[in-house]
Structure 1
Amino acid sequence: MKRIILSIAVISLLIVSCKNAQTNQNISQNKTVKSNISDEQLMNKVQKDALKYFWDYAEPNSMLGRERYHEDNIYPDNDKHVVTTGGSGFGLATILVGVERGFVPRKDAVKRLTTMMNFLSTADRHKGAWSHWINGETGKTVPFGKKDNGGDLVETAFLTSGILMIREYFKNGNAEEKALAKKCDELWKGIQWNWYTKGGEKVLYWHWSPEYQWEMNFPLQGYNECLITYILAASSPTYPIDAETYYKGWTRNGTYLSDKEKYGLPMYVKHNGAEEYGGPLFWAHYSYIGLDPTNLSDKLINNYFDLNKNQVLIDYKYCVENPKGWKGYGPNYWGLTAGYSRNKDGGVGYDAHFPQNDHGVITPTAALSSFPYTPKESMDFLRFIYTQKPEFIGSAGPYDATSINYNNWTTPRYLAIDQGTIAPMIENYRTGFLWKLFMNAPEIQKGLKKLNFKTEKYNIK
């Protein structure tokens, strides 16, 4: 949600002239994929491509995920060493997929992950939380906005989800792997989640700054991408919140429920600022890299999987209906979420795309990261973009923003927060690998029970 609200504040940083980036055929290192490639081969390919963002293009000192990687080498000033906290969390999950699938050697991953955890242990922290952006060379906070220069609890949650999965994956390994798991455990236990209730209010707040204190004043209230923040806060063995904070804060005392439908599909909750069709699709991805929504319920929601599936299907059906008449939209080319976008002058900006804010730009991560919910529709998109739109593919997979409508416009650029959900969510569809790691963590089991979540799949009753 902050990516929508703050897009105006950061637009001067994110907009860079890019009128020469409309074809990118000379930049792309990928050739057209043969149409007879199997579904399994395609999923392997896009997962391996997305891994390159975090393995080949990581910030060289911290080894964390850079906020952005631009193949055209056009960057905002002093940007190449800015790492993103949340995107790095998705990168941790991506690297785990790489290890599990044999894309990267396990021992090399352990060495790199150890470097990352060591960096995070010495980087600036604000009551245990990390900032949205960090200088990868110095570990110092890089302001995301004037007053957003302290702890970012939501970005910290995305990072922590990855840290816990790293811990769970390596905790029974060799000595080096156990040492890595121990570092992860220490980082997790140092986050003061309950501090972010602003003195005990029954709601979590997104930001706290040593300089500006609570002036950002952004309570985390559903529904958007922030559910995982409450799950982790409730699960903390050191600085937990109680169940009342979840139900009074996140669910707005239950008033976030909705009886609306779109295309005959129940929405279940009120999507903040997007109640007609639902919000950008990252709301169905970010919290669910580790949190398995399959038959997951709490006191208000009967099935989180259905909630997410319907949001994605509504987005899909909107693109197929295509009320604005954009060229290219259809069953093979769909998906609206936050990411790079096309400005009126043809340059590159940033926007949070969803049906009520549709500008003819399709963001590949939207459909690709929705595989668990819409496997056929997501596979149709994956096959189409790789076999018929090679100009939309770069060295790290599909570029962040594409548009058939604007003469196959794209930009040879990637954002960590978008590229980082592709491999994990596809893997969760294929094997449930990351879901199993996260959901079986002892603290998560206790935290979910505290909040009255239930799922027979993990024996949480």
Structure 2
Amino acid sequence: MKRTLLSMGVTSLLFAYSCKNTQISKQEMTPDKTISNSITDEQLMDKVQKDALKYFWDYAEPNSFLGRERYHEDGIYPDNDKHVITTGGSGFGLATILVGVERGFIPREEAVKRLSHIMSFLAKADRYKGAWSHWINGETGKTVPFGKKDNGGDLVETAFLTSGILMVREYFKNGNRDEKFLAAKCDMLWREINWNWYTKGGEKVLYWHWSPEYQWEMNFPLEGYNECLITYILAASSPTYSIDAETYYKGWTRNGTYLTDKTKYGLPLYVKHNYAEEYGGPLFWSQYSYIGLDPTGLSDKLVKNYFDINKNQSLIDYKYCVENPKQWKGYGKNYWGLTAGYTRNQDGTTGYTAHMPTNDNGVITPTAALSSFPYTPKESMDFLRFMYTKKPQFIGTAGPYDATSIHYNNWFTPRYLAIDQGTIAPMIENYRTGFLWRLFMNAPEIQQGLKKLSFQSARYGIK
């Protein structure tokens, strides 16, 4: 929920220039936007995956090679933020790079070199009991405060990053000498994270933040349901500093009280989405934890199938946009999707908010539908085809822009956010092949951690 509560109104911007390294293509900043209606679904998915990859390959921060917090094609940046990288978004970027290698979009050897550099940078960057901060200066490795007291370890952003690190390890661990060395770097970073420290002295709940200066003053316990499930999975799976099952069930599930029998549009919600119990929260809640964690047939003591939670949340969002109770122009079967990202302020300027049915201002965030492919393949494909063949002005060099609105005279912001662009290629790939899901779910520690928490998954032999 931090992206919802703490990121609204964030206005710091990043200086835009490409990383001087192997690029995906030589195209100019104004791409060829002519896409024929005859393009196949497979070609469209290839296209958007390759476009989204550019954010983390062509436009990476040039010293660390990690993902910038933002990339703006309109060129509006203050210089002081030009090297700010985002921890969680970079984790999604690692997964995106793996998709690029697997699909042949980028050379495997070049990826190994870049990923090895990234892991070396992360090993030297500021850490807080092994956890990284939300933002890091890509030149120095020093913490960039996300807020006054948010200047230390950020366990949730660390979890999103660690999920990517583990998938890199699993992908390369049986490769050549350089690949095995990369995998060893990843393993070292993973083992150094003290997840148990973030129980604040043994409380049966994980806390989001800890700062050497402010200690636990942020006071943000991780309680479901929102985007933070992966934090508990990783904490329980740690081979060095793990939490016990009681912390998961007392903390994350609120002693089981986060279940609900509410429905919307005839679809069960199953769990109480924090601050959004009527419709479910912004769609990133069904995406961030599931870049590697496969919800298909996944259950624990309380939830019978996590896939159903995510599918229903996505369908509720879709049905809300089709119903369109506020009568926004353009909303419908081909144009839907509400999640956190850039938005249009009332005065026409660009801001930030957590779009969802209970916070709907006429702006559609493309990543919402595109990253829902595993749950809503037809609805997501309709959106993807509409964007590329009917709304080329909404497409930039790194894929669909972060925020769009047909209602406001085809308004869009020519800008991207790592946390939004970074989920597109991975979630589409999970729909297409299950590639990242297999990497993460077959990691030995993850298998053991899930068993510790009484999770079951027939697909991966977890029972």
- How does the TM-score come out when normalised to structure 1? 0.97
Structure 2 match to 1:397: 399
Question: Residues of 2 paired with 1:201 and 1:14: CA distance?
Answer: 37
Question: Aligned-pair distance for 1:286?
Answer: 0.1
* 1:397-439 superposed Cα distances (whole Å, 9 cap, x missing partner): 0000000000000011000000000000000000000000000
Structure 2 regions of 5+ residues with no counterpart?
A: 16-27
Question: Residues of 1 paired with 2:324 and 2:14: CA distance?
Answer: 27
Paired residue secondary structure (1:7): coil
Question: Residues of 2 paired with 1:179 and 1:381: CA distance?
Answer: 41
Contact in 2 for aligned 1:394/1:412 (Cα 8 Å) = yes
Contact in 1 for aligned 2:14/2:71 (Cα 8 Å) = no
Q: Superposed, which structure 2 residues align to 1:78-89 within 5 Å?
A: 78-89=80-91
Contact in 1 for aligned 2:14/2:83 (Cα 8 Å) = no
Question: Aligned-pair distance for 1:77?
Answer: 4.5
Question: Residues of 1 paired with 2:262 and 2:79: CA distance?
Answer: 45
Contact in 1 for aligned 2:155/2:208 (Cα 8 Å) = yes
Paired residue secondary structure (1:340): strand
Question: Residues of 1 paired with 2:10 and 2:134: CA distance?
Answer: 16
Match for residue 124 of structure 1 among 122, 126, 130: 126
Paired residue secondary structure (1:78): helix
Determine which structure has greater relative contact order: mean sequence separation of CA pairs < 8 Å that are 6+ residues apart, divided by chain length: 1
Structure 2 match to 1:23: none
Q: Number of residue pairs matched?
A: 451
Question: Aligned-pair distance for 1:15?
Answer: 12
Question: Aligned-pair distance for 1:76?
Answer: 3.9
Structure 2 match to 1:257: 259
Match for residue 452 of structure 1 among 445, 450, 454: 454
* 1:40-64 superposed Cα distances (whole Å, 9 cap, x missing partner): 0000000000000000000000000
Question: Aligned-pair distance for 1:75?
Answer: 1.8
Paired residue secondary structure (2:309): helix
Structure 2 match to 1:34: 36
Q: 1:27 to 1:183 in 2, by over 3 A?
A: closer
Question: Aligned-pair distance for 1:442?
Answer: 0.1
Structure 2 match to 1:22: none
Question: Residues of 1 paired with 2:419 and 2:31: CA distance?
Answer: 22
Q: Does 1:163 align with 2:160?
A: no
Contact in 2 for aligned 1:192/1:239 (Cα 8 Å) = yes
Structure 2 match to 1:332: 334
Question: Aligned-pair distance for 1:28?
Answer: 4.0
Question: Aligned-pair distance for 1:12?
Answer: 4.3
Question: Residues of 2 paired with 1:14 and 1:282: CA distance?
Answer: 22
Paired residue secondary structure (1:276): coil
Question: Aligned-pair distance for 1:13?
Answer: 3.1
Equivalent position amino acid for 1:366 in 2: A
Equivalent position amino acid for 2:199 in 1: T
Structure 2 match to 1:61: 63
Q: Does 1:411 align with 2:413?
A: yes
Equivalent position amino acid for 2:55 in 1: Y
Structure 1 match to 2:218: 216
Q: Does 1:438 align with 2:437?
A: no
Question: Residues of 2 paired with 1:66 and 1:209: CA distance?
Answer: 23
Equivalent position amino acid for 2:342 in 1: Y
Question: Aligned-pair distance for 1:31?
Answer: 1.4
Structure 2 match to 1:365: 367
Structure 1 match to 2:293: 291
Structure 1 match to 2:319: 317
- How does the TM-score come out when normalised to structure 2? 0.96
Contact in 2 for aligned 1:30/1:395 (Cα 8 Å) = no
Contact in 2 for aligned 1:372/1:426 (Cα 8 Å) = yes
Question: Residues of 2 paired with 1:76 and 1:295: CA distance?
Answer: 47
Equivalent position amino acid for 1:313 in 2: L
Question: Residues of 1 paired with 2:399 and 2:340: CA distance?
Answer: 17
Contact in 2 for aligned 1:30/1:390 (Cα 8 Å) = no
Question: Residues of 2 paired with 1:11 and 1:414: CA distance?
Answer: 14
Contact in 1 for aligned 2:394/2:400 (Cα 8 Å) = yes
* 1:196-228 superposed Cα distances (whole Å, 9 cap, x missing partner): 000000000000001000000000000000000
Contact in 2 for aligned 1:297/1:304 (Cα 8 Å) = yes
Equivalent position amino acid for 1:151 in 2: G
Structure 1 match to 2:20: none
Question: Residues of 2 paired with 1:213 and 1:50: CA distance?
Answer: 37
Structure 2 match to 1:7: 7
Question: Aligned-pair distance for 1:32?
Answer: 2.3
Contact in 2 for aligned 1:362/1:402 (Cα 8 Å) = yes
Question: Residues of 2 paired with 1:386 and 1:27: CA distance?
Answer: 17
Question: Residues of 2 paired with 1:388 and 1:12: CA distance?
Answer: 31
- Report % sequence identity: 82
Q: 1:406 to 1:28 in 2, by over 3 A?
A: farther
Question: Residues of 2 paired with 1:152 and 1:32: CA distance?
Answer: 42
Paired residue secondary structure (1:11): coil
Question: Residues of 2 paired with 1:54 and 1:12: CA distance?
Answer: 21
Contact in 1 for aligned 2:12/2:81 (Cα 8 Å) = no
Equivalent position amino acid for 2:90 in 1: S
* 1:173-209 superposed Cα distances (whole Å, 9 cap, x missing partner): 0000000000000000000000000000000000000
Question: Aligned-pair distance for 1:11?
Answer: 2.9
CA RMSD of aligned residues (A): 1.2
Question: Residues of 2 paired with 1:370 and 1:427: CA distance?
Answer: 11
* 1:268-326 superposed Cα distances (whole Å, 9 cap, x missing partner): 00000000000000000000000000000000000000010000000000000000000
Structure 1 match to 2:143: 141
Match for residue 353 of structure 1 among 352, 355, 360: 355
Q: 1:27 to 1:108 in 2, by over 3 A?
A: closer
Structure 1 regions of 5+ residues with no counterpart?
A: 17-25
Contact in 2 for aligned 1:32/1:388 (Cα 8 Å) = no
Question: Residues of 1 paired with 2:402 and 2:379: CA distance?
Answer: 19
Extract structure 1 runs of 4+ deviating beyond 6 A: none
Contact in 2 for aligned 1:14/1:350 (Cα 8 Å) = no
Match for residue 74 of structure 1 among 76, 79, 90: 76
Contact in 2 for aligned 1:15/1:350 (Cα 8 Å) = no
* 1:354-392 superposed Cα distances (whole Å, 9 cap, x missing partner): 000000000000000000000000000000000000000
